[in-house]
Amino acid sequence: GAVVSQHPSWVICKSGTSVKIECRSLDFQATTMFWYRQFPKQSLMLMATSNEGSKATYEQGVEKDKFLINHASLTLSTLTVTSAHPEDSSFYICSARGSYNEQFFGPGTRLTVL
């Protein structure tokens, strides 16, 4: 089956620093990837839709200047949390859309901002 990886799986950073999270589709090409945020014991909230070669589409309330998304190739999308603060601590999950519109999810990245 289709595999999506994320790196790193867990990152701890100081307040004010920037963190980059990578999402890769390992055995298929994905023109569209999605970034979600999941709080403890809550569901996934869509942050943005990332299309290869074009600007990401952000959901209402998500700061595009804070959560920078780049989808430079058909197998890689990156999410950069700029000037991270403790309230940005969360579980960030990406997914990649397959050929039949199913979504394949990465294992998630846990971000802790001190």
Partner 1 sequence: GDSVTQMEGPVTLSEEAFLTINCTYTATGYPSLFWYVQYPGEGLQLLLKATKADDKGSNKGFEATYRKETTSFHLEKGSVQVSDSAVYFCALSEFGSQAGTALIFGKGTTLSVSS
Encoded tokens for 66: 């804070």
Select 19 or 97, whichever has its Cβ closest to partner 1: 97
Binding to partner 1 by residue 46, rule CB under 8 A?
A: yes
Interaction pattern, residues 4-43, with partner 1; x per rule: CB under 8 A: x--------------------------xx-x------xxx
Cis peptide before 8 (omega within 30 of 0): yes
Work out whether 54 is an interface residue with partner 1 (CB under 8 A).
no
The Cα-based distances of 11 to 14, 54, 78, 81 in angstroms read 10, 28, 15, 12
Footprint of partner 1 on 68-97 (CB under 8 A): 93, 95, 97
C-alpha to C-alpha distance for 8 and 20, rounded to whole angstroms = 9
Q: Indicate whether 105 belongs to the interface with partner 1 (CB under 8 A).
A: yes
